[in-house]
Amino acid sequence: MATLLTPDICVIGAGSGGLSVAAAAAAFGVDVVLIEKGLMGGDCLNYGCVPSKALLAAAKAAHGKTGRAGLGIGSEGGEVDFAAVNDHVRGVIAAIAPHDSQERFEGLGVTVLREAAAFTSPDTVVAGTMEIKARRFVIAAGSRPAVPPIPGLDQVPFLTNESLFELREVPEHLAIIGAGPIGLEMAQAHRRLGAKVTVFEARKALGNDDPELAGIVLEKLRGEGVEILEETSIGEIRRNGERIAVHVESAGGGTREITASHLLVAAGRAPNVEDLGLAAAGIAFDRKGIKIDKGLRTSNRRAYAIGDVAGGLQFTHVAGYQAGLAIRSILFRMPVAMNNDLVPWVTYTSPELGHVGLGEIEARRRYGGKVKVLTADYAGNDRALAEGVSAGRLKLIAGPGGRLLGADIVGAQAGEILNLLSLALSKKLKMKDLAGFIAPYPTLGELVRRAAISYYADVPAKKWMRLLVAVLRKFG
């Protein structure tokens, strides 16, 4: 017979979003049940953000031949010990894991159930031998790697982000399906660690980013020896002895077969909507995810959905942002609304590629001729020149009245610079604000100020301004 629990909030999924909701609710003394069938910390800690950035750090050390024994990179010319690199990745996960652990959350007062969860009615979830009836539910069940319907793919061994970081030997030739952020980050990392790498993309690589700035990243990766085949369809995948043969066709009609030792599928994510009993709960969903309103509520008013399972922008920081909105709505009955225009993202290649707000095309669609695109090149920044990282560019999208509408940046520490621009966008700052702050010299952050100042480049030449200066001069 099931044991009945009646918490105020039941959270399904202990990834970034679910953990944030549970911790915040517990901090206010609210009774919370947190259900997780897999690893605490979800995809980000175990298979995504954390291991990928740890691998990228090792790859950067190898590329720079700096020698970082703790990262698996030798001091004699940057030799790669791939097993030690894997140990570094595992070590980083282990160091962060206690923060997301069952023990920590139970210490916060959260009831943690390590079971699969499924709704049996609009107000009831079953997890193992427990039946949970809650005032509100938050579904944060995450996503999994999407596997495209390519003929023969199911007949060959392939990696996803959930198995890639188990490798103890560097692949001789890594073929990657998908030239989005995950695909290209892992392409550059493995190339720098000694693998031959080929990337296949059906459309344009980094297609969600500014084409000009994305081109700088692609040029750098190709220069390092990564083969990136854009607008290329895969007709068939098959075994070729111990290797994997990928038959591709280019947009121009040419065909080619590439044989690799390993295959990584990085073709997007699929929301985990199966086996949750969503139909029994009256929660509408489709293959793109659970359907939510602007306040993150599902068609069942008791239930919210946040993070990857709700589709949309699939980033750890989006799940965290949505968790905050959900808490405000559930605990304080505050009206909330998700604003995708405020969401930044970064691709952590070298150079990094970042975006926030509206891109140039969308800004012109909304505001027409009132849009100005302001730029500042890394080549004109003293810190970038001093450190030898002069390849890069910042773009600010200014709208009516000089208000910041968006920004794109490629270059060293692009993600760190984007923090300032994300704050500026959320606070509706204008070019006068970004031109008026004092940036310490020399820093890459001066790029923001330089671009903003260019908004006023034509002011000194205006007749009324010159007349004003002339009149004021007459007063001594």
Map out the domains of the chain as residue ranges: 3-145+270-340, 153-267, 351-460
Query: Token digits for 307?
Result: 């993070």
- Count of CB atoms within 10 A of residue 456's CB? 12
How confident is the model at residue 2, as a pLDDT? 84
Name residue 165's amino acid.
Answer: F
pLDDT of residue 69: 78
Q: Are 290 and 139 contacting, i.e. CB atoms less than 8 angstroms apart? A: yes
Distance from the Cα of residue 56 to its chain's centroid = 15
Q: At what angle do helices 446-453 and 414-426 cross, to 10 degrees?
A: 50
Q: What Rg value do the Cα atoms of the chain yield, rounded?
A: 25
Instruction: Supply angle C-alpha 436, 437, 439, rounded to 5.
Output: 130
pLDDT confidence of residue 238: 97
Which residue numbers in the chain have pLDDT < 50? none
Supply the pLDDT for residue 476.
Answer: 73
Residue 252's pLDDT is what? 83
Two domains, one topology: 153-267 and 351-460:
no
Cα 161 from Cα 267, distance rounded (Å):
11
| Residue for token pair 């081109």 | 215
Q: Is 215 exposed, middle or buried (0-12, 13-18, 19+ CB in 10 A)?
A: middle
Residue 36, φ and ψ in degrees, nearest 5: -145, 125
Question: Cα(378)–Cα(388) distance, rounded to whole angstroms?
Answer: 10
Helix (H), strand (E) counts: the chain: 15, 25
Query: In this predicted structure, what is the pLDDT of residue 372?
Result: 97
Q: Which amino acid is at 227?
A: E
Q: Give the pLDDT score at 463.
A: 87
CATH superfamily of domain region 351-460: FAD/NAD-linked reductase, C-terminal dimerisation domain (3.30.390.30)
Prediction pTM value: 0.94
Do the Cβ atoms of 393 and 409 come closer than 8 Å? yes
The CATH number corresponding to 3-145+270-340 among 3.50.50.60, 3.40.630.30, 3.40.50.10680, 3.30.70.240 equals 3.50.50.60
Cβ burial of 80 (10 Å; 0-12, 13-18, 19+) is buried
Hey, what CATH class is 153-267 in? alpha beta
